[in-house]
Amino acid sequence: MQREEPDGVVISCDFCGMDWDGEAAMVEGHHGSVICLECLKKALADAAPGEGKYKCTLCLRFNIPPAMPRWSHAARPQTLVCQECLHQAAKAMSKAPHVEWQWDKPG
């Protein structure tokens, strides 16, 4: 997520709203959508199928079947991320040399 401020553009996690400090680990999706490492960790642990089709904030796919696990932050329940994006972001974050975190891919 991006917003204009008098000092320039501020980049924030679309899920928790945390502003990027230039150092925190974040992964960017399409059209400037962003997920921070803390939200990614929570999402990987808590993603689950839900009610109805949905649109993913990161990849912008829509009409995703309800059976596809998804996650949203309690502060922004309308902002959803699909399991495919979570796995792709986790792989990218695990390869980043400045990030002290590794994803243990299931099964």
pLDDT value for 59: 96
Does 91 map to a domain? yes
Confidence label for 105 from pLDDT (cuts 50, 70 and 90): confident
Does 9 map to a domain? yes
- Where would I find the H helices in the chain? 37-46, 83-95
Unique residue bearing structure tokens 């990218």: 92
**How many distinct structural domains can be found in the chain?**
1
Does 43 map to a domain? yes
Of all residues in the chain, what percent carry a pLDDT higher than 90?
Answer: 74
Does 73 map to a domain? yes
Does 105 map to a domain? no
Does 26 map to a domain? yes
Of all residues in the chain, what percent carry a pLDDT higher than 70?
Answer: 99
Please give the average per-residue pLDDT across 48-69, as a whole number: 97
Does 62 map to a domain? yes
Does 56 map to a domain? yes
Q: Look up the domain containing 84 and give its range.
A: 2-95
